[in-house]
Structure 1
Amino acid sequence: MTAANLTIEAYVRSLIRQDAQLDPRPFLVSAIGGGGKTTTLVELFDAAIRPRSILTSTTALGLPGAGREVAPPLSHKQKKNPALARVTAAPPAGSGLWLGPACEDIAGKHRGLDRDQLDAWVREQREAGDKDTLILCEADGSKRKPLKAHAEHEPVIPKTTDLTLILFGLSAIGQALAEPVVHRAPLFSAATGLEAGKPIQISNLLSLLNSGHFFKGIPPTSKIAVVFNQADCLDKEQRTQGFFHELAGRVLENSRISAVFFKGLDRGEHKTYWGQSKNSGQPAPFSAVIMAAGMSERMGGLNKLLLPLGGQTVIARTLSRVLSAGIPDLVVVTGFESQRVRETIETAIRPLKGGTNLTFVTNDRYCEGQGRSVAVGTQHLAPESTACFYVPGDQPFLSPLLLRHLMEEFETGKIMIPVREGRRSSPVLFDRSFYRELSSLAGDLGGRQVIQDHEDAVIEVISHDHSAGFDLDTPEDYERARSLVKIEHTERSFP
């Protein structure tokens, strides 16, 4: 999608539609930076993109319309929205503001929520199947200045964020770099190389972006959009489509950034001067190797991956759940009955594939055990892959929400392992720094050998999904799986 008239609202709606094709869930937008965070979030709130909109913060928030000292003024239309005046200390049943206690020293301002509290609630809503809620979170503070730089403890972005907006106030362009204009001006100077007192240029904002300074704390699962606000403050010769298009192109050269917007006032009304998003898909930070090469030796002569289960085969059901988590790079390792398995997968997931890069590879030495499949799959990951799940093909109850949770908690250089009732389970998410060792595995230990050699790198993530780690190995397991599918169907039919 590329359009000169693309608005932030339209972009958010498009992302929600994309998610709905995978796994409908609450959608969370976080705003950081300076110069228009509250205004932008209030506009999205008032647009009623979903039946329930919740405005919140993980830092502090001036109540919309409370006065210019703490919050921007509301438009005439926004003043008529009663939900913008509805403040609760718990998640509102309908649209409203969910905030902490009022600040004692600043009238009209409330403390924000604890980030972990907000993340836990969002994950609960996902489990409950909530697809009607849009959460809008101000995750940064700038003391109402147009620009800022981040201290060590900033920003405070929820890990469940789906879209992060980085805002710059263009009213600072041409002004001297100093604290009245830039919150944490010395840090801004250190990050950009601009000396204190020198005029701020747009090139300094690009330097700040390209330094990675504003990517700190953004979850790896979040898309990123840059919003240049107060575009009406630019010189007249700069307020042209040609200028906006050229600058947007430079920003979008950064692989982390998905969209760029220029906003400002026009005759007293907020307007999008230019909006542009990438046509091409984003690089694949996460991958998954699906191990589908085994001989099903305990299944009484049947290939367990090809058994019917809930209107699909076992392997197709496993693959569809991985796809629902939005993982863009999949490698399927086949071996035993390779052609049958591949044809079954291709037929079943063709409607679900979307923009996923799907690669089939064959493990000719599948008799040697799972380690060889792990090695072969790792050798065929996308070059830009940051971390990879290793998923047995016989896990038809794998939870897309668990995969998403592990990706949100991911840390560079670590091995993420789900834990249920005190026991480690699968799938495991390995950082790319372990790919070399994983590519050399053999035998039946699989990734367990790498885990044993790097216990200091393990991060355990608590999971409450009891059926997600279900392995289908024996005829008895298959009968149990059929029973679980019947229960799933009953729960969907009678909520």
Structure 2
Amino acid sequence: MNRKVWGIILAAGNSRRMGKAKLLLPYKGKSIIRHVVEQSLTSKLAGITVVVNPGIPELKTEASVPGVDKVMLNEKAGQGMSTSIQTGLLSVPANVSAVMMLLGDMPLITSLEINKVIEDYCKQTTFPCIVQSSYKNQNGHPVLFDRNLFSELYKVTGDEGGRSIIKTYKHLVYYSYMEKEMASDIDTQLDYEKLLREERG
């Protein structure tokens, strides 16, 4: 069955561990956030919202590319990832069946992983459900939440994001198995240096 899935790119973190605006760091001639946005745009997502930190004005510019439906400022970014999720949900149209959460600091994510999660969601017959990407028993992003769980997403607090919902409703989780290791997020300077080393081969 064809169901509309909306992407929410979470890009409002304060980069505390990095010490600078990590999403603006260059990778292969583009910013990290631009890689995530462009891969999302080439996927089967019905629409895309990018949630950014108003304290980093350049992020809004980097995210505002043709095809992105909405760039939203999270005025409560300092209160954790949950506020970015809830800010993004406000932009989701009523005819959308589910949302997919994508992290803005995963420059190696591709439209293939995004589409795999969407395709597995469209095969589901039991609702509500959660579809989470997985590789060799390591579960991560992207992760999709059916519309019937939106009310639960509005209840999360702090930096827990969707983890608490996945834990509470683990019986509703379907794992979307990936053929390759999932893209790592870039949290520290060491993570970024590793990314650049891999780029150089």
- Same fold (TM > 0.5): yes
Alpha-carbon offset, residue 486 of structure 1: 3.2
TM-score normalised to the size of structure 1?
Answer: 0.38
Alignment counterpart, residue 330 of structure 1, candidates 32, 44, 48: 48
Structure-2 residue corresponding to 1:289: 8
Tell me, in whole angstroms, the C-alpha distance in 2 between the residues paired with 1:363 and 1:389. Answer: 18
Q: Deviations over 1:36-68 (max 9, x none)?
A: xxxxxxxxxxxxxxxxxxxxxxxxxxxxxxxxx
Secondary structure class of the residue paired with 2:158: coil
Secondary structure class of the residue paired with 1:441: coil
Matched, 1:341 2:59: yes
Alpha-carbon offset, residue 405 of structure 1: 1.1
Tell me, in whole angstroms, the C-alpha distance in 2 between the residues paired with 1:426 and 1:469. Answer: 8
> Unpaired runs of 5+ in structure 1?
1-218, 222-284, 488-495
Residue identity over aligned pairs, in percent, reads 25
Read off the aligned partner of 1:341 and give its amino acid letter.
L
Contact 1:417–1:429 (CA<8 Å) still a contact in 2?
yes
- Structure 1 runs of 4+ aligned residues shifted over 3 Å read none
Alpha-carbon offset, residue 373 of structure 1: 0.8
Read off the aligned partner of 1:309 and give its amino acid letter.
Y
Q: Deviations over 1:402-459 (max 9, x none)?
A: 1111111112421001111111111101111111111232211001111112111101
> Unpaired runs of 5+ in structure 2?
none
Alignment counterpart, residue 187 of structure 2, candidates 473, 483, 487: 473
Alignment counterpart, residue 452 of structure 1, candidates 164, 167, 183: 167
Alignment counterpart, residue 132 of structure 2, candidates 417, 420, 432: 417
Higher relative contact order (CA 8 A, sep 6+): 2
Matched, 1:380 2:91: yes
Matched, 1:321 2:36: no
Alpha-carbon offset, residue 337 of structure 1: 2.8
Instruction: Please tell me the root mean square deviation across aligned C-alpha atoms, in Å.
Output: 1.6
Read off the aligned partner of 1:292 and give its amino acid letter.
A
Structure-1 residue corresponding to 2:143: 428
Contact 2:52–2:74 (CA<8 Å) still a contact in 1?
yes
- How has the CA–CA distance of structure 1 residues 336 and 465 changed in structure 2, closer, same or farther, with 3 Å as cutoff? farther
* Counterparts of residues 151-162 of structure 1 (less than 5 Å): none
Contact 1:395–1:472 (CA<8 Å) still a contact in 2?
yes
Secondary structure class of the residue paired with 2:86: helix
Contact 1:329–1:382 (CA<8 Å) still a contact in 2?
no
Secondary structure class of the residue paired with 1:417: strand
Structure-1 residue corresponding to 2:158: 443
Structure-2 residue corresponding to 1:220: 2
Alpha-carbon offset, residue 328 of structure 1: 2.4
* Structure of higher CA gyration radius: 1
Contact 2:54–2:73 (CA<8 Å) still a contact in 1?
no
Alpha-carbon offset, residue 336 of structure 1: 5.0
Alignment counterpart, residue 30 of structure 2, candidates 312, 327, 332: 312
Contact 1:417–1:460 (CA<8 Å) still a contact in 2?
yes
Report the number of matched residues: 197
Read off the aligned partner of 1:421 and give its amino acid letter.
K
